[in-house]
Each structure stands twice: as structure tokens, then as C-alpha cells.
Amino acid sequence: MRLEILNGPLELYWAPVGEAFPDVDVAPAGNWALIGTSGSTNYTEDGVSLAYDKSFEVFRGLGNSYPLKAFLTETDGFVRVTMADMTLDQLRMAFNLNAVTAVVGPPAIEHFSLDVGSDLTEMALLVRGTGKSPEFDGSNMQFELNRVVETGSHEITFVKGDAANVELEFRMLLDASDAVGRLVAATA
């Protein structure tokens, strides 16, 4: 079996910054909340993507056309998923985790503010691949991201014959220890 060759689906969970990440072989509990009411069943077939953008500057000496030294000047990390879940509890993820307010009826209603504001809500993000460890058959792997903010530009389209969806984009931020997170894979 070729364990190093992986595929999806992956599940996304969020929690307040500072929440302890679950062990790779333990189901998320405590303040960890699944993104999408049914997790990956609510994600489009585009899947979950992790992207790392980098900017470099190079030094070229006068006597050669090849660079002699490269300097990393910027790095950005993103997790992206398109979610087809329009429940207010899940859709609020695209609106800075604004609180859902319930009003007793009749009619009973729920609502949240569409105002995002200039201060983005930080959260911890767990990207879990159940049964996806490249090191041990049937075990898990996970990306543990200490601090992220949701930074996607959102367009929600409602048309006949297609599920409405929203693209979520989580941007990684450095934490107090100058780290963004880690990748963990079970080995036994």
C-alpha cells in the first residue's frame, strides 16, 4: 500500500485562540466546532486547499546572470474551502463569526449582523484528515494552525439547480512564539 499518496476529504474545525489542539488520534472535543453542519459533506468537490505564497528578493552580481543569494521577504498561508451550508450558525463564519441572535415568536427568527467591522475575529483552525496519515495505515494527520482570520471576499449566488455556497479563506497569522502552527501525522 502506498501510504504517502493521499486524497481528501478533510474536515475543518475552529476554536478560540489558545484552545488545546486534540491529539491526532482523538476526536476533537471541548470548544472545537466543525465547520459545515455535516463537515466535508457540506464542502464542494473543490475540496480543502492549503496555499503558501512567498515573495523573494535575489542578489545578482555584475559578473553573472544567475542569482548568488535569495532572501525571503514575505510569506502568506491560507486554507480555503467552499461551503454549501447556508445555516446561520455556519454562514456567520463568513461574517466575522458574528453572533446569531434568536427571537422568540411567533414567528420565531434568528439573525446575525452583516457588518464585519475592521477588527477581525481570530480563531484557531484544525484541518483533520481522518484515516489520512502518510505514516501509518488508518491513522490521522492534522494541520494545527494557532491563529487565523477569515479573509475571503464573499459572493453567494442563488440559482435554480445549483446549491448556494460561500468560499471561506482563512489567513494564517503568527502567534506570540513566532509560529503559525504545525503538521502532525500519527506513526503508530
Tens of pLDDT, residue by residue over 91-150, are: 999 999 999 999 998 999 999 999 988 999 999 999 999 887 777 777 888 999 999 999
In Å, the largest CA–CA distance within the chain is: 80
pLDDT at 1 over 70: no
Full-model pTM: 0.90
**Which residue has cell 502518510?**
134
The Cα–Cα gap between 92 and 61 comes to 52
* pLDDT above 90 coverage of the chain, percent: 82
The Cα–Cα gap between 150 and 168 comes to: 7
pLDDT at 7: 75
Provide the pLDDT confidence category of residue 187 given band limits of 50, 70 and 90: confident
Task: Quote the number of domains for the chain.
Answer: 1
Predicted local confidence at residue 137, as pLDDT: 75
Instruction: Specify if 4 maps to a domain.
Output: no
In a domain, 6, yes or no: no
Where in the sequence is the domain holding 121, given as residue range(s)? 11-185
**Does 127 reside within a domain?**
yes
Is residue 144 a part of any domain in this protein?
A: yes
Q: Would residue 159 count as lying in a domain?
A: yes
- H or E element that contains 55: strand 49-59
